[in-house]
Amino acid sequence: MADISYRITGGTPLKGDVTVSGSKNAALPLLAGSVLCSGETVLHNVPWLRDVKAMLKILEFLGAETSYQEGTVRVRTHNVTSKPIPCELVSKLRGSIVLLGPLLARFGVVEMAYPGGCVLGKRPVDAHLAALEQLGARDMSVSEGVLHLQGDLKAGRIILPEFSVTATENAILAAALLPGETRIELAAAEPHVQEVERLVAAMGAEVEGIGTHSVTIRGKRNLTCATHTVTTDYLEAGAFVIAAIVTGGKVRLHGVEESHLISFLGAAGRMGGVCRYDPAEKILFVDGEISSLNGIRVQTNIFPGFPTDLLPSMGVALSQAKGVSRIFECLFEGRMAYLYELEKMGAHIEVLNSHQALIIGPTRLRGRNVASNDIRAGAAMVLAALCAEGETTVTDVRYIERGYDHFDDKLRTLGARIEKIETE
């Protein structure tokens, strides 16, 4: 398999218009939701990413027929069955974990190898098991690398042990098929969770509390397949906001949902970034030319707090801000690894522990060879390269392509000097 890198020459202000793609983090659980019913589920505005392709392969393994054309995915589930999903299908896709709930609820059994994905520190499945066990699931796993659940699930009350996005999605998808009322407490409320709530509502379940931390679902045994348009990716939008700011550019982002970015845009404003939103057109205008950056404190939190997936991009911006900034990552102890790559480029950083760091700026970044440690770290290194002097090579671009739809193409349309390099 060819290795893919980006070669980027920095120093060009980005200018122009870009349309934000559909959300990967929404598309994956929505695809998993297709197995709740027998029929055809149609999803529009689906980004054509490595993770989406991997999920479709899993669905096909389970018996589904799938097709993709110009952003629309069709999943036909008439012949879907629940059978053990092997390691080669789930090892590269952490998002496959959201098949636990719908498969178990529909078929009474689910078995899969332990899902993979980005290494962001320990990401146990305890919250998923806790949610499904409260509905009557039994953990039948006998080996460490396999998840095996069985049970005739019943509607009931779920108190999640943490605000886990994917565990909340599993609980919602399972509850949608269970006659009676299920109440999910400490539910995550991220935009992609809300998408799952809207899908099961379109399929015939009654949902109260969409976008809150207490969700009530009245499920039904026979759901109807639905058509749904995937919301745009606020994480991609946030990356382009930072790209415009750190390059001193002027960019118009089309298809932005401001409510998804409320804390991020608040932090960008406190830092000195200049953004203006047109709610009628859903266009966010970012003016990096007149932005003057100062250091701030940023702490990640559950939605609507500052998104953990936008902290690496913000870290790049803070390296260009005057003064001392403190970043505090509450969720993943492995999130800070990208800072060591940023240091290679000249950033002044003091890592205090696995959750906190100081960034002292502004510093002039210089082109280097740097790695993508995960999806979001990879995007952050691209942003660093765009504002660095000279040429930067960003390796392990496969990570980036798991989460960003035509990232390099979109940057080129804004004037970035970026090329994709493939080596055997």
Q: What's the half-sphere exposure (Cβ side, CA atoms, 13 Å) at 93? A: 30
Q: Is 179 left (phi over 0), alpha (psi -120 to 50) or beta?
A: beta
Name residue 223's amino acid.
Answer: L
CB 196 within 8 A of CB 184: no
Query: Rounded to an integer, what distance in angstroms lies between the CA atom of residue 232 and that of residue 41?
Result: 19
Query: Rounded to an integer, what distance in angstroms lies between the CA atom of residue 374 and that of residue 409?
Result: 20
The full 3-state SS of 99-144, as one line of letters, equals HHHHHHHHHCEEEEECCCCCCCCCCCCHHHHHHHHCCCCEECCCCC
Query: Rounded to an integer, what distance in angstroms lies between the CA atom of residue 301 and that of residue 246?
Result: 24
Ordered DSSP codes for 208-257 = E-TTSSEEEEEE-SS----EEEPPB-HHHHHHHHHHHHHTT-EEEEES--
Query: Rounded to an integer, what distance in angstroms lies between the CA atom of residue 360 and that of residue 312?
Result: 15
CB 161 within 8 A of CB 171: no
Ordered DSSP codes for 253-290 = EES--GGGGHHHHHHHHHHT-EEEEETTTTEEEEE-SS
Just list the catalytic residues: 118
Token pair recorded at residue 250: 């002027």
Query: Rounded to an integer, what distance in angstroms lies between the CA atom of residue 149 and that of residue 292?
Result: 54
